[in-house]
Structures are given as structure tokens and as C-alpha cells.
Chains A and B, each alone.
Chain A
Amino acid sequence: MKKHHILLLLLTLCISLIVSPLGAFAASSSSSSASSSSSQVTTTDDSLQRIKQKGTLVVGTSADYPPYEFTTKDHGKTKYVGFEMDMARQFAKDLGVKLVIKNMDFDSLLVALETGKVDCVIAGMNATPERKKSVDFSNSYYTGHSYMLVNKSDQAEFKKLSDYKGKTIGAQNGTTQYTMAKDDIPGAKVKGLAKLSQLVIGLQSHKVDAVMADAATAKAYAENNSNLAAIKVPMNTKVPGTAMAFHKGDNSLRAAANQTIANVQQKDLINKKYLPAAASHMKSYKKQNTVLSYWRYFTKGVEYTLIITVLSVFFGFILGTLFALMRLSKNKLLHSIAVCYIEFLRGTPMMVQIMFVYFGIGAIIQSMPALIAGIIAVSLNSGAYVAEIIRSGIQSIPLGQTEAARSLGMSKKTTFQEVIMPQALKNIWPALGNELITLLKDSSLVSVIGVGELMYETQLVQSATYKGVLPLFITMLIYFVLTFTLSRILLHFERKMKYAH
């Protein structure tokens, strides 16, 4: 009975972890309209003070957008450069705090801002009226046009707006260019992807015919890749100015940003200093920009992939055992809780679960790093599968084994630990191994929330080298080496267990 109580407690904890963000969402969405209006009137805004107190400014960006923001390597470490990153550094300096940059998909940035994962977004973001509904913008500091990036061989085909009819145009999800391509280019199909670098790969392999991007960015790509050309679009592509985005109501922080922006504009730092610096970064790594020179990215990725895998296997196994026992329990409540957990976790995509844990539970526990969120999500998911594997293993052991053990005076627990589980483990070893290998591969999904595991690092290499296929190929080989080694190790233990028989 005591054991049941503990199980129940644990379970309540798990469930509340899953359910409470839902409540928080509901609460925040219902009160947001009220609070935003009231905050301006009554509540004093402490956003600036808060940043100064914690001593860090967390800036969200999507660093595949040269010359706005992109990555370069500095002694093997990722360094975020670009004129907006220089502005971010200036902003943090003016505030007297440390700058922390979080690199993620462009379309995740606003969610990250709303859920408090970042303090502000500096990502070549245009201050459109739609976005103004959910966030506050600083004054604009840069106005750009949009360009089309096309394969040089096709350059002649695109002259008039009507030339784009029936063509596929790629644009980054959530960007102004995406909306523009969709609304203002008649007859064109629009394909949206999370990363510009992926779109450029798509362009080179003719999956899309043109990629619409900011002028400066498009030109940067064309300069770094002799097969590509950046061309003007025959229409008015002027977009609302680029600005920093803040959480609604963070007025004091926004005012501080406007101060920094005013200083920068007064000295014309963007054109005189930041853009030339960005250009030199792009040139400098163009020289020695081979994929293999980024090997440190891959090793770091492997390291994190292994950390995620090992920890998730560990917690997944514990959860799996727990839920398998609950499912086999005679207690109807425990049984049905376990069934719900298993069915729900198996019945929803892992990618959604990862984002839900990061943005959902992360909205409550603000300080939860993406790595932890990723491990929690992967463990929870794996736990559901492991639970079913273990259940089948336990059920495969004849009842006589339990009876013999119990007749010798062994308790339920001892019987399970000493007699049932060792035999079950041997029976389910191949299935567990399968799950382990799947988990190692699926850990790549954690890249969507910006954890620096192998897939994420690969994307960094892709955007840094302007090469799409080679980094993927290398990563594929690395995954294969990892899984193949793992399956050999598992086989070794399987044989060992057989001989011990």
C-alpha cells in the first residue's frame, strides 16, 4: 500500500507538471487584454530594473541572416556577428549587463518573447502592424528592401513580376517576405521553411525557383556562392523598418533601447562601423570556409546528443518501469493513469511535446534551460514506449516464477527485482535496444528549441558555410557511427546474457 502512495504522489506531480501550463496559458490569455491596458495606467513597469538586477540581457535571434546576424567561428567557438549583434552588444553595454544570445528559428522568436525565454528580439524583424498586436517595438533603425535569390543559370528568366507566375518562391517562416510573396506575387507558390539556409539549399537543388529575402541578406548569399544571384523584384518591396521587439508593457526597457538606437544613429555606426565589420567577417571566413574546418561544431553536437540520450534513457527507463508497474497494478486508478499517460505520449508527436515542454512548462519555470526542457520531453516520451516494452517483458514471465519466489517467502518487491525483472530484461533486450537507437536519433528533434546537439550544430555549419548537403551527409555518417556502435554494444550484452544461461 505504501508503495502505491508514493506512486500516486509521483504521478500527481507529473500530471500537474503537464496540466498546469495549460491553466497558466488560459489565465494569461484571458487577462492579457486587461493587464496590458491597466499596466500602462497603474502598474509600474520594472522591466529595466529586472534586467539590471539579474545582470544579463537575453536576446533572441535567428542567426542565419547575414549581414544582420550570422555566426562565425572564433577559435572553434561559435560567435554571433552581424550589425544587429553589434547593436545588441552596444545595448547591453549601455545597460551595464552581460549579453546572452539565444539562437533559434525565426518563427519561434515571438513565442520565446511572450513566454519570457528572451528579454528582447533582435532579428531583422520588421515592425509590422500584425506583430505590433502581440509585442512592442523600439524605434526602427534600418530599412531594407527585399530581393530575390535565384540560381545564376535561371537569372534571365526573372524579369517581370509575371515571370514568377507558376514558380515556387521560398521564404523564411514568419517573415515579412513570406507574407509579401504570398500576397503580392500573383500566381506564385510559396514554400516556407524555418531557416533561410535550408531555403538556399532548396534553391540550389531546384526545389524552389527563387528565395525572397532581405536585400542585404540576399546579396550576402550571392557574394558567397558563385552559383547564386541576387536580383531585384519588379515591385515595391519596401517593408516597415527593422526594430527590436519587446514584451508588451516592458516600456522602461524599450525606452533604454531607443536611447541606444538614437546614439547609434547619431554616429551613423551602422553604416560606418557595423556593416563593414559584418562584411569583413563574411569575407574572412569565405577564405577558409570548408565544412571540415567546422569539426568542433560536430564534436560539440555529438557531446550534447550523447548527454541528451544518456540522461533520457536513464529517466525514460525509470519512468517506463514505474508506468509499466502501474499499468499492471490491480489498483484501477493507477492502472488508468498509466494507460492515459502511455496512450497520450505515444499518440502525440515528439516534436510537439518538446515545444510544449519548453514553451509551456517553461512559461512557469522561467529559468528552465532548453537542454533540460529537451531532456524532460524526450524522457517523458521514451518512458511511454519503455513502459509498454517492460510490461510485455513482465507478462512474458510465467506465473510459476512468481509463485515459486513468493512460496520461498520473498516479498513482492524482492520477487520483482531478483526473479522477474532480470528474466524480463533478457527477453525485452532487443526491443529496448531498438528504443534506445530510436531515442538517439530522435534527440535531433530537440534542435527546434535551440539545444546545441548534433542536428542544431549541423544547421549552424550549413548557414555558416553556405553549403547544404555536405554537412548533412557528415551528420548522417556521425549518427550512423553512433547507432552502429550502440547496436554492437547491445548485441554484446545480449550474447553475454544468453551464455549466462
Chain B
Amino acid sequence: MPTKMIEVKDLQKKFKDNIVLKNISEHVNQGQVICVIGPSGAGKSTFLRCLNGLEQPTSGQVLFEGQELVGLSDKALDHIRQKMGMVFQGFNLFPNMSVLKNIMIAPIKVKGTNEEQAKSTAMKLLKQVGLADKADQYPDQLSGGQKQRVAIARALAMDPQVMLFDEPTSALDPEMVDEVLKVMRDLAASGMTMVVVTHEMGFAKEVADQIWFMADGYIQETGKPEDFFAHPTSPRAQEFLKKILK
């Protein structure tokens, strides 16, 4: 039996009168790579942000390793977030810190890791994302692709059990998309549990264990990539795929 890492039950999210998520129930197993795809405005990002409590659901449950997240105290939530890395569309690197410091700060300030240890981990991760030579630069001096790779390294520095990606390549120039996808591919191959909101269909097809197709606030259908892309069952998915694959 695979262990459930994240489970969502009857998740609903409203912004005032606007219902963004409508009763979603799904789960992510350990080691799985989930790609969440769908038209913009479907609620994909909101859904992802509900998973680590950046958004508070209006109703329903989010469980991480069996523990309920909704309604937790700030402190308890901080503790759980350490185990869930997140990568944003807009990188959100800390502009006032060097690349190295960006990666070191959370382990030092949150886990109490000593400076030396944090530094050696950071350097190892920078090597892993191919940016060892950029350690002493500042985010302003990096290209978009490099920034996103640093952001991934920063999230990995906390040694998370799951990584959440919120459209990690959408803000990149096309020639930089591949360098970021390569890092993500390596990560998936290493067995990391990942939930990726993306528009990169090639990546989804190749790397995902499961595709979750979202539209109009629902997960319309789920399935293995080869099945989903060949035979989408829901009319919304058929329409969506027809549009992008044209």
C-alpha cells in the first residue's frame, strides 16, 4: 500500500461571492509526481496554495501525513511548511541577500543549523542545480532561469518531503525553460514527491505519474499521462487539449 502524503477532502475556497474551488477530494502518494494542468482561471494555483496553508480553505480538509492543516495555529503550520517546499512563478528570491544567503537563511533561522553546515548544504544544492559559480552573486545579477533554479535549491535546503511548483516556467523566456525543467526532471527521478502546476505539456507527459485536469474549480478528470493525452474523457479536457495541441 502506498502511503498517502497529502489528502484533500471536500476542499472549497471562496473569494467573497466567487467560488474558486468546488469540493475537491484527491490525494498524493509518497514518491508520486502530479502535474496539475488546465486553462487559466481554473483555480490551479489557489488549489496548490491551499496545500501548504498559504490560502486558508473556506471549508473542507487538507491533510499532510494524516495531520489536519485547516485551522492550525500559525506555529504548527510553520512547522509543517518546513516539510513542504514551494517554488513560485515569480521566483520570490530575497533581493537583499546573496544567492548563497538565500539558500542558507531558512535552515539557519528556522532549523537552527549552524553556519558551516548550512553553507556546505547550500553549495551542494547549488552544484545540483548547476549554479555553484553564482554563490556570491545577488538575484538581480541572474537570468530568470538561474533565479528559478536558485529558488528550487532554496526550497530543497529545508530537506522537504514534498515540493509544490506553481507554474515555475511561466515567467521565463522560452530558451530558459529547459534548464529549469531539467532540474525538476532530475528531482523527480530522485524520488521526490512533487505537485506541479504547469503549462508544459511535454514535461507533464514525460515526468508525471498522474495528470490532474482542472477547469471551473473542479478536478475534471485524473489519469496516467499516456491515457489522458490520448483519450481525454471529459468534454472540458477534450476542448482544452484540442486548443493547445493545435
- Which A residues are closer than 8 A to B by beta carbons? 398, 400-401, 403-412, 414, 418-419, 422-423, 426, 500-501
Residues on B with C-beta less than 8 A from A407 are 52, 54, 81, 84-86, 155
**A414 contacts B94, C-beta separation under 8 Å:** no
Q: Is B229 an interface residue (CB 8 A)?
A: no
Give me 19 other A-B pairs in contact (C-beta within 8 A), A406-B54, A501-B138 excluded.
A400-B88, A403-B54, A403-B88, A403-B92, A404-B86, A404-B88, A404-B92, A406-B78, A407-B86, A408-B82, A409-B78, A409-B81, A410-B109, A410-B110, A412-B74, A414-B109, A418-B105, A501-B96, A501-B140
**Chain B residues numbered 26-58 whose CB sits less than 8 Å from any CB in chain A:** 52, 54
B90 interfacial contact with A, CB 8 Å? yes
- Partner of B110 from the list A403, A408, A419, A426 (CB cut-off 8 Å) is A408
Q: Does B211 contact A (CB under 8 A)?
A: no
What are 25 A-B interface contacts by the 8 Å CB criterion? Answer: A398-B92, A400-B88, A400-B90, A400-B92, A401-B94, A403-B88, A404-B151, A405-B106, A407-B54, A407-B155, A408-B81, A408-B106, A408-B110, A408-B155, A409-B78, A409-B79, A409-B81, A409-B82, A409-B110, A410-B106, A411-B74, A411-B75, A419-B94, A423-B94, A501-B140
Tell whether A423 pairs with B109 under 8 Å between CB atoms, given A409-B81, A501-B138: no
**Known interface pairs A414-B109, A423-B95. Does A409 touch B158 (Cβ–Cβ under 8 Å)?**
yes
Assembled-state Cα–Cα distance A406/B106 (Å):
10
Residues of A within 8 A of B140 (CB): 501
For B109, the chain A residues whose CB sits under 8 A away are: 410, 414, 418
A472 to chain B, nearest CB (A): 44
Q: Cβ of A401: which chain B residues have Cβ within 8 Å of it?
A: 92, 94
Q: Please give me the residue from chain B that is nearest to A404 by CB atom.
A: B92
Contacts of B158 in A (CB 8 A): 408-409
Contact with A along B133-155 (1 / 0, CB 8 A): 00000101000000000010011
Closest A residue by C-beta to B73: A1
Complex Cα–Cα for A419 and B139 (A): 14
Find chain A residues with CB under 8 A from B82 CB.
Answer: 408-409
Residues of B within 8 A of A409 (CB): 78-79, 81-82, 106, 110, 158
**Residue from A404, A409, A410, A501 with most neighbouring chain B CB atoms (10 Å):** A409
With a CB–CB cut-off of 8 A, which chain A residues contact B79?
A: 409
Complex CA distance for A371 and B94, rounded to whole angstroms: 43
In the complex, what's the smallest C-beta–C-beta distance from A330 to chain B, in angstroms? 12
B67 to chain A, nearest CB (A): 15
Query: How long is the Cα–Cα vector from A412 to B155 in the complex, in angstroms?
Result: 18
Write the nearest CB–CB distance from A407 to chain B, whole angstroms: 4
Over the window 104-116 of chain B, the binary record of Cβ atoms lying under 8 Å from chain A Cβ atoms (1 yes, 0 no) is: 0110011000000
Alpha-carbon distance A423/B94, docked complex (angstroms): 9
From B92, B96, B151, contact of A422 by CB (8 A): B96
Contacts of A419 in B (CB 8 A): 94
CB pair A426 B92 closer than 8 Å: no
How many contacts A-B (CB < 8 Å)? 67
Bound-state CA distance A408–B93 (Å) is 12
* Smallest CB separation, A482 vs chain B (Å): 30
List residues of chain A with CB within 8 A of the CB of B75: 411
The residue in chain B whose Cβ has the minimal distance to the Cβ of A408 is: B106
* Whole-angstrom distance between the Cβ of B65 and the nearest chain A Cβ: 15
In the bound assembly, the distance between CA atoms of A284 and B158 in angstroms comes to 79
Bound form: Cα–Cα A431–B92 in Å: 26
> Whole-angstrom distance from the CB of A413 to the nearest CB of chain B?
10
**Chain A residues with CB below 8 A from B92, complex form:** 398, 400-401, 403-404
CA distance A91 to B82 in the complex (A): 75
A159 to chain B: closest CB distance in Å? 76
> Given the interface contacts A403-B54, A501-B140, does A411 sit within 8 Å of B78 by beta carbon?
yes
Given A400-B88, A403-B88, A501-B138: A410 and B78 within 8 A (CB)? yes
User: What chain B residues lie within 8 Å of A411 (beta carbons)?
Assistant: 74-75, 78, 110
Q: Are A404 and B94 closer than 8 Å at their CB atoms?
A: yes
Name the distance in Å between A400's Cβ and chain B's nearest Cβ: 4
Smallest distance from the beta carbon of B204 to chain A beta carbons, Å? 23
Closest 9 CB pairs of A and B: A409-B82, A404-B92, A407-B86, A408-B106, A400-B92, A409-B81, A409-B110, A411-B78, A414-B109
CB of A425 to closest CB in B, whole Å: 9
Q: How near does chain B come to A428, taking the closest CB pair, in angstroms? A: 13
Chain A: which residue is nearest B98 at the CB level?
Answer: A500
Q: Inside 8 A of A405's CB, which chain B residues have their CB?
A: 94, 106
Residues in B57-78 with C-beta less than 8 Å from chain A: 74-75, 78
Closest B residue to A422 using CB positions: B96
Docked CA distance A500–B74 (Å)? 33
Minimal Cβ-Cβ distance residue in B for A412: B74
In the docked arrangement, what's the CA distance between A400 and B151, Å? 12
Q: How far does the alpha carbon of A431 sit from the alpha carbon of B96 in the complex, in Å?
A: 19
* Residues of A contacting B74 in the complex (Cβ-Cβ under 8 angstroms): 411-412
Give the nearest-CB partner of A501 in chain B: B138
Contacts of A398 in B (CB 8 A): 92
CB-based nearest A residue for B75: A411
Q: Quick check: A408 and B96 within 8 Å, CB to CB?
A: no
Write the chain B residue with the least CB distance to A417. Answer: B109
CB-CB under 8 A from B88, the residues of chain A are 400, 403-404
CB-CB nearest in chain A for B141? A501
Inter-chain contacts of A501 with B (CB < 8 A): 95-96, 138, 140
Using CB atoms, name the residue of chain A closest to B83: A409
A360 to chain B, nearest CB (A): 40
Chain A contacts for B151, CB-based, 8 A: 404
| Complex CA distance for A456 and B123, rounded to whole angstroms | 60
Task: Please give, as numbers and ranges, the residues of chain A lying within 8 Å of B105 by CB-CB distance.
Answer: 408, 418
Task: Determine how close the nearest CB of chain B comes to the CB of A371; give it in whole angstroms.
Answer: 38
Shortest Cβ gap from B120 to chain A (Å): 19
Report which residue of A401, A423, A500, A501 has the largest number of chain B beta carbons within 10 angstroms of its beta carbon. Answer: A501
Asked if A406 meets B81 with Cβ closer than 8 Å, knowing A411-B75, A419-B94, the reply is: yes
Min CB gap A60→B, angstroms: 53
**CB closest chain-A residue, reference B101:** A418
Task: Tell whether, in the assembled complex, residue A414 and residue B95 are in contact, meaning their CB atoms are under 8 Å apart.
Answer: no
Q: Which residue of A lies closest to B106 (CB)?
A: A408
Contact status B106-A423, CB under 8 Å: no
Q: Given the complex of chains A and B, what is the CA–CA distance between A251 and B110 in angstroms?
A: 68
B84 CB, nearest partner CB in chain A, Å: 7
Taking the closest CB of chain B, its distance from the CB of A140, in whole angstroms, is 71
How distant is the Cα of A418 from the Cα of B106 in the complex, in angstroms?
A: 10
Q: Which of B86, B109, B158 is the most central at the interface, judged by chain A CB atoms within 10 Å of its CB?
A: B109
The CA-CA distance from A364 to B176 in the complex, in Å, is: 69
Whole-angstrom distance between the Cβ of B15 and the nearest chain A Cβ: 15
Give A403 to B154 CA distance when docked, in angstroms: 14
Cβ–Cβ < 8 Å partners of A406 in chain B: 54, 78, 81
